[in-house]
Amino acid sequence: MSNPAATPASVAPASLDLPQPYLLFLGDVVHPAFAKTAFGLRDWARERCVGEYALPEAKAGLGLPALTPRQARDAGARALVIGVANVGGVIPDTWLPPLLQALADGLDLIGGMHTRLAEVPMLRDAAARHGRRLIDVREPPAALPTASGRKRSGKRLLTVGTDCALGKKYTALSLARAMREAGIDADFRASGQTGVLIAGRGLPLDAVVADFAAGAAEWLSPDADPAHWDVIEGQGSLSHPAYAGVSLALLHGSQPDAIVVCHEPGRRELLGYPGHAVPSIEETIDLNLRLGRLTNPAIRCAGISFNTSHLSADQAQALMRDESQRLGLPVADPIRGGEALRALVRACVETPT
């Protein structure tokens, strides 16, 4: 029976029709953090990745077979995915020859940049000439609503961060998977281009007109069964001089019941923004809870997610144990998993007393 009070936020995002498997393009990226789309697909959709393709200047590799577009096509690839998320989301001229080669060799192009593939005349003309598709996943759906602030049924968890590119997506994916393994009804909700490619559905929030961004976050996590959890991929940081606006819209529209703060121990400055210090975990908790109470007065911090990929296993375990005792919250590295992750899941879903 239809709900007469239903709003656009009552309709779940539809699945995307993407040509698979993929050849992952790394461009000329030097720092792995700027190849997070490629790394995300490698780590969470490995079965859809045939190989990697990069310019000679690239320094960040995925450990996948290095293939030319023709070799990838012969190996079954149907599309080349731009695996880079650079500052500004631009397609530089140096990328055009390899992208044109991919079209000529029979691959569609999938992009998640702010620059749309079809906005580049050479790519648009080549795609038409070779009968190939240009697919931009950083394209929000039409007719998004402004935010209503209406309380929706179901439960929501949002990953937030002290900075960009430190594990919000991986944490959300890991928590959603761990919840399902524990018998909890949970879905991952993608709010960025990499998450959309992994999940096959979602919404690139940073491509939405500002007035509609919080409404888009409402649409992303619609009404659900009271026991259901939507685990929402966070974006940016409320303390970031460039991206805080996206983070705030996502916080308000998601109306999270719980947040998990993501942090990379040892990172001192915001990535790509020298001179801007990374805020403390305590500052990040306080800021998110104060601002989040606008749309959910019951918002709480369930715990902390650490990216300890640069530490040994013993160092990581000792640090997480000490920080958990200091903060009075569970601390886990979602990729390392184990009992720490299970404790974090319990803290997320258990009703506070």
Q: What is the mean pLDDT of residues 240-266?
A: 97
Architecture of the structural domain at 155-349: 3-Layer(aba) Sandwich (3.40)
Q: What are phi and psi for residue 241, nearest 5 degrees?
A: -70, -20
Token pair listed for 318: 């000792």
Intervals of CATH 3.40.50.720 along the chain = 22-136
Q: Tell me the per-residue pLDDT of 295-348, one tens digit each, with 9 for 90 and over.
A: 999 999 999 999 999 999 999 999 999 999 999 999 999 999 999 999 999 999
pLDDT at 179 over 60: yes
More confident residue, 58 or 171: 171
Token pair listed for 168: 């919000």
Amino acid at 104: A
**Contact predicate 238/173, CB 8 Å:** no
Sorting pLDDT into bands at 50, 70 and 90, what band is 353?
low
CATH of domain 22-136: 3.40.50.720
Residue whose pair of structure tokens reads 């998320």 in the numeric block: 85
Q: Tell me the per-residue pLDDT of 156-169, one tens digit each, with 9 for 90 and over.
A: 999 999 999 899 99
pTM of the model: 0.89
208 φ/ψ sector (left φ>0, alpha ψ -120 to 50, else beta): beta
Intervals of CATH 3.40.50.300 along the chain = 155-349
Q: What is the mean pLDDT of residues 58-77?
A: 95
Low-confidence winner among 28-32, 45-49, 211-215, 244-248 (lowest mean pLDDT):
28-32
